Structure 1
Amino acid sequence: MTPIGSLRSASQSRRLLAPLLRSWYRPTVLGVETLPRRGAVIFVANHLGFLDAALLSVASPRPLRTLAPDELFEPPLDRVAKVAGHISMDPTWPDLAAMAAATQVLRAGEALAVFPEGRRGDGRVASIRHEAAYLALTTDTPVVPTAILGTRQTGMAVDALPRRKARMAVVFDQPFTLSSHGDVYRRCVVAAAGETIRQRLADHVGRASYLTGLRLPDDRPDVPATPERTHPDAR
């Protein structure tokens, strides 16, 4: 199984990140009052820039793990990723070990963050991968659509840092639970649940952009698209 860092280390890294981000940038957090304070929950967020996971970690009222591409577990970022409690996932193919580790986290009543677009881009959620849908269905975990804004502007590279004092926002929507009308391990059931997540998240991102006045980037960086996949157990 994919190793998982301790929840204590994830909490400590979050406390270290918070003052750094708030001293360099101007983050706003909205919707915290709607979030469950205990029990398993999956935050599904759009993906714009390099700071998305760090910003979401700081904005969350409780420590969380993040499904992260395995490239983050290579030097020089590997130690940071492990301490932060990230779960390594192969983004090129359904990763059984990562799904088992994420399931373990949710069964323990912890919080998990997933960026279902699978890569940084314009954050409009035009297409997604289905890991979040699979996990939500098989563990009966509520999903929280989460809008991240301001971490990348038009023309910026996906691995670039925003300018100092840039405005950013994390806006949480109300949690919802997916309902299925069939075997949750069937590919078509997972795909339908994934489309529900995509629509809910895309709509929420649009509303959050209007509410905060923070526009999404107008460009789509030239990064190879991650294939839309379903967990390999799905039939």
Structure 2
Amino acid sequence: MRSAVFYWFMKYIVIGPVLKAVFRPWVVGREHVPASGAAILASNHLSFADSIFLPLMLDRRVSFLAKSEYFTGKGIKGWLTRLFFKGTGQLPIDRSGGKASEASLNTGLEVLGRGDLLGIYPEGTRSPDGVLYRGRTGIARMALEAKVPVVPVVMVDTDTMMPIGQKLPRIVRVGIVIGPPLDFSRYEGMENDRYILRSVTDEIMVALQRLGQQRYRDVYASTVKNQRPADRDGAPEADPRPEPAATGTR
């Protein structure tokens, strides 16, 4: 109860009114977000600001899985960051892989099990250059295990407002485009089939690419981030259409 009151206070009294007045965010397709019940909001990820504006512009509470470093900072800055992330409904996760990935999956399933909205960035990290990258299959596993729809969401111009590495935002109007929910009930009981998980994930990425018309590269964003700057333009591009689930080629 205390958490819900704090979230409401931050969204409608402290943060929300200021951000809406300054950045004048717009939304298309708000009606595609279910009025009740659990669902996953699958969004492209351009900026730190994505996790701020999407929950701000929806009537329902959205919980995002955020890297744990945002909750462990020291000093006044660390305290303010932690306060902000807790106040906007974000949940700390360890992104080191292995058992940490399983714990993150369980955290997301707990949110969905309560009938709430869970925000996920399928790319796994922010795009380093505004390109849409290959999705990680964790989102597919959550959708199939929880038996929930996936709503594609495209953030617009948040990278112009606050690029990676910039500390203060530019005054730019940002937008959100929300597409129709994707139903994966045809794959019920197949959440442990890696080919099915890849097929579902690719279908989500296709929906995001079509909705936002972003350029697409069929490599992971984390791989591109680890490349030397001079090598990034050489990353292979591909049509984002998913391969058949049972081809066995991946």
TM bucket by the smaller chain?
A: 0.7 to 0.9
Q: Residue type of the partner of 1:204?
A: L
Q: Residue type of the partner of 1:68?
A: A
Q: State the TM-score, normalized to the length of structure 1.
A: 0.79
Hey, what's the Cα distance between the residues in 2 that align with 1:91 and 1:81? 17
Unpaired runs of at least 5, structure 2: 216-220, 228-250
Equivalent position SS for 1:153: helix
Shift of 1:203: 1.3
Hey, what's the Cα distance between the residues in 2 that align with 1:200 and 1:183? 21
**Corresponding residue for 1:86?**
90
Equivalent position SS for 2:108: helix
CA spacing shift, 1:38–1:61, aligned 2, 3 Å = same
Whether the 8 Å CA contact 1:124–1:205 is kept in 2: the answer is no
Q: What count of residue pairs does the alignment treat as equivalent?
A: 209
Q: Does residue 102 in structure 1 map to residue 108 in structure 2?
A: yes
CA spacing shift, 1:155–1:103, aligned 2, 3 Å = closer
Superposed, which structure 2 residues align to 1:54-133 within 5 Å? 54-75=52-73, 76=78, 77-94=81-98, 95-121=101-127, 122-133=129-140
**Corresponding residue for 1:6?**
3
Whether the 8 Å CA contact 1:44–1:143 is kept in 2: the answer is yes
Q: 1:177 aligns with which of 179, 183, 191?
A: 183
Unpaired runs of at least 5, structure 1: 210-219, 226-235
**Corresponding residue for 2:32?**
34
Q: Could you tell which deviates more after superposition, 32-41 or 15-24?
A: 15-24
**Corresponding residue for 2:153?**
146
Residue deviations 1:63-99 (CA, integer Å, cap 9, x gap):
1100111221122122322232212222231522222
Tell which structure's C-alpha radius of gyration is larger: 2
Hey, what's the Cα distance between the residues in 2 that align with 1:192 and 1:36? 24
Q: Does residue 163 in structure 1 map to residue 170 in structure 2?
A: yes
Q: State the TM-score, normalized to the length of structure 2.
A: 0.74
Residue deviations 1:10-63 (CA, integer Å, cap 9, x gap):
333322322121122121111112221100011111111121100111112211
Q: 1:21 aligns with which of 19, 25, 31?
A: 19
Hey, what's the Cα distance between the residues in 1 that align with 2:150 and 2:43? 10
Whether the 8 Å CA contact 1:28–1:168 is kept in 2: the answer is yes
**CA RMSD between the two structures:** 2.7
CA spacing shift, 1:74–1:30, aligned 2, 3 Å = same
Residue deviations 1:128-153 (CA, integer Å, cap 9, x gap):
22222111111111111001011113
CA spacing shift, 1:27–1:154, aligned 2, 3 Å = closer
Hey, what's the Cα distance between the residues in 2 that align with 1:84 and 1:127? 27
Shift of 1:160: 4.2
Report sequence identity in percent: 27
Q: Residue type of the partner of 2:8?
A: S
